[in-house]
Chains A and B, each alone.
Chain A
Amino acid sequence: MAMVDVVVLVAGDGVNRAIPAMLLLLVVLLAGLLGGRLVALGVALVAAIGFAVLLPPIGSPRVEPAEDVAALVLFVAVAAIAGVLLSTIVLSDRRRLSAEQGTVEALLRVDHDRAALLRSVSHDLRTPLATIRAAATDLQGFDHDPAARTHLLDLVIDESERLDRIVGNLLSLSRIEAGALLPERQPVDLAELVAACAARLERATSKLTVEVRAAEGLPLVKVDYSQIDQVVANLLENAARHAPPGSVVVVDVERVGESVRLRVTDQGPGFDPSVRGRLFEPFASATGSGSSGIGLAICKAVVDAHGGTIAADDAPDGGARITVEVPIDG
């Protein structure tokens, strides 16, 4: 409609003015599209001056009869409204798009995290499964001597236990994510818990010597037994994975103020500086092999849920050291 008005009005003084008027309108629209409202307004004014003064013959003012003044005012009005409207539409469109893009990026991030989780979980599950399947199929297909049979069966048992621990960790992780990791507290003798856990993991840690050093007269601590057991198991398994065969892992249990401190020190290479800051994040230690690295993340979540602290540093003589403190009264 607006354009038709301009055409009709300028047509009074000859059609040759319609084309420059439309061209100038186009410039205003473009300004609105690219530059925004203020630019569109400014360009509309400049275009009006151009329309009045700069058209050929250059310098001879066109604004004589009343119709021309009306045409000029209308041109400015139409150009300004069209330019501003267009820029408004473009602006809101851009806003919507950038909001959508933000959502899409967030979704992609979640997707990426999930993919990483699935990848490392399937890797974690397949590692013990590889041993179990190879051993079981070999037992079925070959007449091994009794010693070899026992050895293969032991490996099947060990790896199925390892699988069970991984599944336990995964369940904990899902509880943590659902915010449902509530400790069921009961008075626990931590020294006893550590000793029982170390005994249970004896085969998994068989290449190491695990030494439990519990201080005398430790108080009972109000914690969730199975959750803290999982923390100790993860720490021992971690040590077994990284410390050299034949080395010693020491678990110290002692009272520090109103807390009990558990400290696991190995004689391995210590923490890789590149993952040190992210040790307690899930998947931080995910390397080519070993573990997806959810173990330490679970330790931290459990310790946090108990109102305690967990920290990692290097022991004075090199190895990795993880210190957990949980308050005695919960």
Chain B
Amino acid sequence: MAEADVVLIDDDASLASVLAVGFESRGYDLRIAATGGEGLREIERREPDVVILDLGLPDIDGIDVCRHLRQRTTSPIIVLSADGAEDRKVRALDEGADDYLTKPFSMPELLARVRVAVRHRRALAAVAHDEVLSVGDLAVDTAAHEVALAGRPVELTPKEYALLMLLVRNVGKVLTHRAILDQVWGPDQPLDTLRTHVSHLRRKLGGGAGAPQLVTAPGVGYRLLAPGDVVS
């Protein structure tokens, strides 16, 4: 069985060709679509483990493709953008993308992101109905509202708990500042509120080997990564 089934939606034939060699050499199935429309059809045909989506497509705007994809599939979406424009990435993430990478990127970097996405998708599918969610050594008892790290209880304020829950439920996915603020605090909260809580939460989780990492996506948001999944 293939490592994972990946759909690449990118109109740059050269890059697609490089990725085809790279992924297939490592045992992945890579299906290539050169337009947004083709990509959506490819996903309808068979739900992939991961979608890699370039935001600059000839037929449909990448952000719209992202939204359509999200309506049809729960597959993680890794967005590629050639422009450094933060707002495009943020919009893609708000439309349901899980992660992003700016072109030009290195092959190991992309492969690492794909591995993280695949693993978290499988992990999430397995624990969807569990009452105790775990990421590395972190365990969250959602019924008792109790958090433990390597068996030792961690005291959290209600907002810290809500923030952690959101991150744990979306482990591996980049959550934008706006998305986190809206879901934990409600609209119109300043970014500083989030920053303060993130720094408290980081302190309480510590940087131990088995602890999940609360990683900053510069200018975009945050995400929780399992220990060992931390990529540059």
Query: A residues bordering B, Cβ < 8 Å?
Result: 119, 122-123, 126-135, 137-138, 141-142, 144-145, 148, 151-152, 155, 158-159, 207, 287-290
B82 touches A148 (CB 8 A): no
Cβ contacts under 8 Å, A159 to chain B? 14
Chain A CB count within 10 A is highest, among B11, B84, B104, for: B104
Cβ contacts under 8 Å, B21 to chain A? 138, 144, 148, 151-152
Whole-angstrom CA separation of A133 from B18 in the bound complex: 10
Whole-angstrom CA separation of A123 from B12 in the bound complex: 12
Majority-rule SS of A interface residues = helix
Closest beta carbon of chain B to A200's beta carbon, Å: 17
Contact with A along B1-36 (1 / 0, CB 8 A): 000000000011111011101100110000000000
Stretch at the interface among B43-51, B57-65, B194-202, B222-230: B57-65
Whole-angstrom CA separation of A159 from B108 in the bound complex: 20
A-B contact pairs, 11 of them (CB 8 A): A126-B82, A130-B12, A133-B104, A134-B15, A134-B104, A134-B106, A138-B107, A148-B25, A151-B17, A207-B13, A289-B11
B57 touches A289 (CB 8 A): yes
Cβ contacts under 8 Å, A126 to chain B? 82, 103-104
B56 touches A142 (CB 8 A): no
Closest beta carbon of chain B to A127's beta carbon, Å: 6
Query: B residues bordering A, Cβ < 8 Å?
Result: 11-15, 17-19, 21-22, 25-26, 54-58, 61-62, 80, 82-84, 103-110
Chain A CB count within 10 A is highest, among B22, B61, B80, B106, for: B22
B106 touches A142 (CB 8 A): no
Whole-angstrom CA separation of A287 from B82 in the bound complex: 13
Whole-angstrom CA separation of A289 from B108 in the bound complex: 24
Chain A CB count within 10 A is highest, among B12, B57, B61, B105, for: B12
Cβ contacts under 8 Å, B61 to chain A? 288
Whole-angstrom CA separation of A127 from B55 in the bound complex: 12
User: Are A128 and B14 CB-contacts (below 8 A) given A122-B83, A142-B25?
Assistant: yes
Cβ contacts under 8 Å, A132 to chain B? 104
- Which residue of A has the minimal Cβ distance to B11? A289
- Which residue of B has the minimal Cβ distance to A124? B82
Q: Which of B11, B18, B80, B108 meets A135, CB within 8 Å?
A: B18
B57 touches A288 (CB 8 A): yes
- Which residue of A has the minimal Cβ distance to B109? A137
A127 touches B17 (CB 8 A): no
Whole-angstrom CA separation of A129 from B11 in the bound complex: 15
User: Are A134 and B56 CB-contacts (below 8 A) given A158-B14, A289-B12?
Assistant: no
Whole-angstrom CA separation of A232 from B189 in the bound complex: 57
A134 touches B18 (CB 8 A): yes
User: Are A130 and B15 CB-contacts (below 8 A) given A288-B56, A288-B58?
Assistant: yes
Cβ contacts under 8 Å, A127 to chain B? 12, 15, 82, 103
Whole-angstrom CA separation of A256 from B179 in the bound complex: 64
